């Protein structure tokens, strides 16, 4: 086949749009085929063009070439042969509290470790605490005859990219002790209640987070010739702890420090909790060298230190989330079916069930394309959405009759192939009803095909893409809104009588 005057890139794009993508939309088995060919086109249009032409010849010589629903069923509106469009569906929504999320399974399942509390009138209050275990950086015992503790400092390197909220507002943070040995090979969820001490082993009051500002530390000199000096440290939170903790740690014998399990049996770890302030949730980088529990001491008159680290894969590192909706604007809407709104919340918070019915006309048809569009209701967004960003990407799960809620197939394919064209769900700017608005658009073609095999309706659970490690919330216009309703657009082809 010859395409006069067309470059390979244009041919590849044409074949992808007119052949592979329609095939995938009409027949669910072509999910991976579409993703693979799209990847090939990006990497090498010439390869895709040659492979595509060979595939066209193979298809045209087979029995499927006479079926109008087989090739070309995903063309744009008005361009598809024998395709129809359906937009009229019955939809309703219900706000729900979600179950806890797994945060630790022998290793931490997130890189987002937060300590803080955030409140707004719509969603109420969310709090994130942090449980940490530590191991001695160099397992050894100081045998000096005279040991004197200078200070004990917990330092946590900020993760400025995951910081949420207004860092200019003061906070109080308490550091408690984990009072029992927490098995490192366990599974822990975001609502875990770890045993902690009644009294704090340290705290910081009226602290102003500075996640982007290096910390200046003054080092004392040893006389007139060597005066005080200053050094710049990575942006970090530093909390002074009781000296008695340092004395306890340095008093451990060789047997207690040579074995990780023996050390953790003597020192269970720390638990961080914000006790004042509700406008920020700070994030920390636990893999950074600046994150440590450090004991500064004098050993027979000489300065020395011992560092204890929350070592990745070897220690417990678990964020704990709590949500309080009492007194919030949404409290009375939770669990009630309605059509006015959707709400989604990070850190294992609120989600929305979306029920879609009235799909009888689609049963027995070929679903070429099904796209669900939702418009962000920014009337309830924070004034400064740079500090308080909305949820940037949505996920969808299918609410099954047995109570399970698996991710829909369209999203699973995207997660497995890393190609975003399959599901979407990211917050983008688009024009709706003549206005530029923020929208979430999701491809649910495969899910709809699967759902129609079991009936004429489906229920989806709309959540943030990540329920773990990413704070934030979004209000979305519901299916009953007069200007920006939730819209499902389905392009389908009726099967031809043989």
How buried is 436 (Cβ within 10 angstroms: 0-12 exposed, 13-18 middle, 19+ buried)? exposed
Which H or E run includes 298?
Answer: strand 292-299
If asked whether residues 282 and 317 sit together in one domain, one would say yes
Indicate the DSSP class of residue 440.
Answer: E
Return the C-alpha torsion angle 240, 246, 248, 252, nearest 10: 140
Please check the confidence at residue 5 and state whether its pLDDT lies above 60.
no
pLDDT grade for 2, boundaries at 50, 70 and 90: very low
Domain end residue (candidates: 324, 346, 376): 324
* pTM of the model as a whole: 0.81
Q: What is the pLDDT of residues 401-437, one digit of tens each?
A: 999 999 999 999 998 887 666 899 999 999 988 899 9
Cα dist from 301 to 152, 252, 305, 458, whole Å: 18, 20, 13, 73
Q: Which domain holds residue 14?
A: 8-66
Question: How confident is residue 222, by pLDDT bands cut at 50, 70 and 90?
Answer: low
Q: Is the pLDDT of residue 162 over 90?
A: yes
Mean pLDDT of the 236-255 span:
97
Q: What pLDDT is attached to residue 224?
A: 54
CB of 373 closer than 8 Å to CB of 479: no
Q: Is 325 helix (H, G, I), strand (E, B) or coil?
A: coil
The distance from CA 139 to its chain's CA centroid, rounded to whole angstroms, is: 36
Q: What is the pLDDT of residues 310-336, one digit of tens each?
A: 999 999 999 999 999 999 999 999 999
Domain check: are 395 and 454 in the same one? yes
Please give the pLDDT value at position 227.
57
Closest to 485 (Cα-Cα) out of 85, 123, 86, 88: 88
For residues 252, 254, 258 and 264, what is the CA-based torsion angle, rounded to 10 degrees? -20
Please say which residue of 302, 324, 346 terminates a domain: 324
Q: What does the pLDDT average to over 23-48?
A: 42
Dihedral-angle region of residue 245 (phi above 0 means left; psi in -120 to 50 means alpha; beta otherwise): alpha
Cα gap 458→358, rounded to integer Å: 10
pLDDT band with cut points at 50, 70 and 90 for residue 381? confident
pLDDT class of 221 with cuts at 50, 70, 90: low
Residues 214, 232: contact at Cβ < 8 Å?
yes
Among 58-62, 67-71, 82-86, which is the least confidently predicted range? Answer: 67-71
Query: Which of 278, 307, 324 delimits the end of a domain?
Result: 324
Please calculate the CA angle 391-280-329 and round it to the nearest 5 degrees.
60
Q: Is residue 209 part of a domain?
A: yes
CA distance 17 to 11: 10
- The pLDDT assigned to 385 comes to 80
Return d(Cα 157, Cα 284) in angstroms, integer: 6
d(CA 241, CA 243): 6
Model confidence at 213, pLDDT cuts 50, 70, 90, reads: very high
Find the range with the poorest average confidence among 45-54, 117-126, 160-169, 233-242: 45-54
72 domain-assigned: no
Res. 56: pLDDT tops 60? no
Query: What tens digit of pLDDT does each residue of 452-469 get?
Result: 998 889 999 999 999 999
Model pLDDT, residue 459: 97
pLDDT at residue 422, rounded to an integer: 83
Contacts of 62 (CB under 8 A, 6+ apart): none
**242 and 384 in one domain?**
no
Of 398, 424, 427, residue with least CA distance to 413: 424
Residues 6+ apart with CB under 8 A from 469: 110, 111, 112, 113, 114, 162, 319, 347
Q: Are residues 87 and 61 in the same domain?
A: no
User: Do 112 and 217 belong together in one domain?
Assistant: yes
Question: Is residue 58 located within the same domain as residue 114?
Answer: no
Averaged over 246-273, what is the pLDDT?
96
When pLDDT is cut at 50, 70 and 90, the band that residue 228 belongs to is low
Res 3 pLDDT > 90: no
pLDDT of residue 375 exceeding 50: yes
Length reported for the chain: 498
Identify whether residues 363 and 244 lie together within a single domain: no
- Is residue 208 within 8 Å of 168, Cβ to Cβ? yes
Q: Which two tokens stand for residue 386?
A: 């740079």
CB burial of residue 43 (10 Å; 0-12, 13-18, 19+)? exposed
CB atoms within 10 A of CB 197: 15
d(CA 468, CA 479) in angstroms, rounded, equals 28
Total count of domains within the chain = 3
């Amino acid at each position: 086949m010859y395409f006069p005057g067309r470059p390979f890139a244009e041919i590849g794009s044409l074949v992808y749009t007119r052949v592979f993508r329609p095939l995938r939309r009409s027949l669910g088995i072509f999910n991976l085929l579409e993703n693979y060919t799209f990847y090939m086109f990006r990497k090498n249009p010439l390869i895709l063009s040659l492979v595509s032409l060979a595939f066209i010849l193979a298809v045209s010589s087979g029995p499927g070439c006479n079926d109008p629903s087989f090739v070309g069923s995903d063309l744009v509106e008005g361009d598809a042969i024998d395709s129809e469009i359906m937009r009229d569906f019955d939809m309703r929504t219900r706000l729900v509290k979600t179950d806890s999320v797994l945060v630790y399974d022998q290793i931490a399942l997130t890189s987002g470790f937060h300590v803080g509390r955030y409140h707004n009138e719509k969603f109420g209050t969310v709090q994130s605490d942090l449980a940490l275990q530590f191991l001695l950086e160099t397992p050894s015992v100081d045998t000096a005859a005279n040991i004197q503790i200078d200070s004990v400092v917990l330092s946590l390197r900020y993760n400025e990219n995951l910081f949420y909220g207004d860092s200019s507002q003061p906070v109080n943070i308490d550091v408690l002790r984990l009072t029992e040995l927490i098995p490192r090979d366990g599974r822990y969820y975001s609502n875990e209640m770890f045993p902690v001490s009644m009294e704090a082993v340290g705290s910081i009051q009226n602290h102003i987070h500075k996640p982007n500002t290096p910390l200046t530390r003054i080092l004392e000199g040893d006389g007139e010739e060597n005066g005080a000096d200053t050094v710049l440290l990575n942006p970090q939170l530093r909390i002074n702890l009781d000296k008695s903790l340092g004395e306890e740690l340095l008093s451990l014998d060789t047997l207690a420090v040579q074995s990780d399990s023996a050390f953790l049996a003597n020192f269970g770890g720390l638990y961080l909790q914000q006790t004042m302030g509700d406008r920020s949730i700070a994030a920390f980088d636990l893999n950074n060298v600046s994150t440590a529990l450090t004991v500064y001491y004098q050993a027979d008159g000489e300065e020395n230190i011992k560092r204890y680290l929350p070592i990745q894969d070897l220690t417990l590192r678990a964020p704990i989330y709590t949500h309080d909706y009492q007194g919030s604007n949404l409290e009375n809407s939770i669990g009630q079916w309605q059509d006015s709104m959707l709400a989604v919340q990070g850190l294992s918070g609120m989600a929305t069930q979306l029920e879609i019915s009235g799909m009888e006309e689609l049963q027995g048809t070929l679903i070429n394309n099904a796209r669900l569009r939702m418009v962000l209701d920014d009337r309830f967004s924070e004034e400064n959405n740079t500090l308080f960003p909305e949820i940037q990407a949505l996920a969808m799960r299918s609410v099954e009759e047995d109570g399970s809620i698996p991710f829909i197939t369209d999203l699973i394919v995207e997660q497995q192939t890393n190609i975003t064209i399959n599901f979407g769900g990211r917050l983008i700017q688009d024009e709706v009803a003549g206005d530029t608005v923020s929208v979430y658009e999701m491809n649910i073609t495969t899910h709809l095909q699967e759902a129609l095999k079991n009936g004429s309706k489906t229920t989806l659970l709309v959540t943030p893409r990540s329920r773990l490690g990413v704070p934030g919330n979004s209000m979305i216009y519901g299916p009953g809104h007069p200007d920006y309703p939730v819209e499902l657009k389905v392009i389908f082809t009726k099967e031809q009588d043989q």
